[in-house]
Each structure stands twice: as C-alpha cells, then as structure tokens.
Structure 1
Amino acid sequence: MRSTLPCMNRLLWVLALMGWTSARIWGAEADLAGLWKNTAIGIGQSAIIVSQEGAFLHVAGYGVWAGGGTGVWHGKGTIEGARVKLPLTYTKLPKPDFDPKVELELEISSDAKTLSGTWKNGLGRKGPVKFVKVGAESPPKISTPAEAPKAEGPSDDGDKKGEAAQP
C-alpha cells in the first residue's frame, strides 16, 4: 500500500502558496484612500487621511491626547499583502516626552474598512491601534448653479484665448 503522505504534503504546500499569493494580490488591490477614524482610548478627534498610489501610501493625521495636547503627524507606508507598514513622524508633539518617530504595523480587514494592529516608538513603548474607514458623505445639495464649485480650467473660449497669449 502506497503512502498518501507525500501527496498530501504537496497539496498543503500548493494551498499555502495560493493563500500567500492571493493575500499579496488582495492587499495591493485594497482601496485604503480616504478618511480613517482612530478608535484608540485616550485620543480624541483622531483621524488620518490616506492617499494611495498602488501599494504606496501617504498619510497625514491629527489627534488630541488626554492629559496632553494636539498632535500632528505624517508618513509614507507600504501595503505588503494584507498588512500595512507605516512609519510616522510627528511635526507637532502632543506631550513634551513624546517620541516624534512612531511605526504602525496594521492588518487590513477582509472588507478593507478596518486597519488594526500595533504602534511602537523608539522609547520602547507600544500599544494597540485601530482605524475605521469613514464612509463618504453624499454630495452637498445646491439650490442654484451659482452655488456649484467651479471646475478647474477655463470656462469658455475667451478664457482659453487669454491663457494662450500669456508667456
């Protein structure tokens, strides 16, 4: 009787490889661009705005710390599979002893509406962090065409001629 163990091992290896590959593809396709609310305890009005270009992220954030003040930060990160690595630099510290360099390691939820994981800084401090994507609001209603925002660029032929004449 032949053993089915080598065949099972091969099958498990193929399934693991497929899962790893699909996680990498899925993560890169996740749409993380938008507004995210930080749900951490002790930080109020905290949010990040994420701009995404493929697997690359640009982030700006703001929050108010309990027992401190406002903090403002920015960073550039990457999506790696279903995870996000995001080093941040604080440009306004919420507390005097606050480390301006923090790194987030986050897991992207399967619906791409939650980022959860840990933060850590160079002082050896770390803790949990969770962001929830804020849904887009409906476009504002306008009463008259004059209330609509103007589009970028010339609005008529006269503007085009004026622009062409400029050096």
Structure 2
Amino acid sequence: MTLSPRDQYQQQISQPGFAEDPAQAAVVEALQRVFEGLQRPRKNRHRWWSRLTNRRATDSAGPGLYIWGSVGCGKSLLMDMFYASVPGERKQRIHFHQFMQQTHDRLKTLGDVADPLVVIATEIAERVDLICFDEMQVHDVADSMLLGGLLTAL
C-alpha cells in the first residue's frame, strides 16, 4: 500500500538531515486534499445525456493545484511524493515544455481538423486521469491560449 502525501512527508522529515518547513507543510496539506479528492468516486450526473450523445459522462474535472516558489524550495520533491501516492497507471508526470512540444507536434499531424484541441484532449483523457506538470511556465501568448483551450476541453 502506498502512503498518502501527508504520510510520505512525515516520513521524509523524520529522516536525518530533513526538517519540517512551514511552507512545504502547507503545500503537503493542499496536496493531501487533492489526493483525497481523487480517491472519491465521480458521479455520473448526466448519464441520460451521455447515452443520447454517445459521450462518456463524468463529473466536473477533478481537483487541481498549482505550486509555485523559488528554486530549491522543494516543489518537485513534493510533487513527486504526491505522484507516487496516487495509485494506478493512468497518470503522467511530465515537464511542461515537453508536454507543449508534444501538443504542438500533434497539432501539426492533425492538419485541418475542425477542433484539434478536442481531439488532443480526448486522446489524453483516454490515456490518463492525472497529469503532473513540472517546471510549468507559460511565456508565449499563443501557448497560453492553446493551453487554456486544451484544459477546457479536458
């Protein structure tokens, strides 16, 4: 059985050379809430609609969290703890730049599709239920719009 983010953090800070950090502890509690939210079953509130439209009915998107801080404050370590705590294989941990590069490459291969972001989002949703981005930084307006459309479609 895997440990929750909170339990992993407690285990980590009990090791020699580690000490509890209040900012990290606050992030761990937020990650714990996301973890617990992912454990709850989703409700299919619009099951009748999904039968009519032949679409998979799910509750709204699961919980999310954006972690920010200075270099070396433990963001990646905490995300890795969280990622390891989530059971199953339908998850992905990826550097944001790599994810955006894959998205741009897929857009090129799709060509002249009516709504390519919906196609890409569907492909992602068929593979994973959780995406953890490391080093997420959006500097380009076009990438910002692309990301917004993709996350909305997901």
Q: Sort the TM-score into its range (normalised by shorter chain).
A: under 0.3
Structure with the higher fraction of residues in strand conformation: 1
Greater helix content: 2
Greater relative CO, 1 or 2 (CA 8 Å, sep 6+): 2
TM-score (norm 1): 0.23
- TM-score in terms of structure 2 length: 0.24
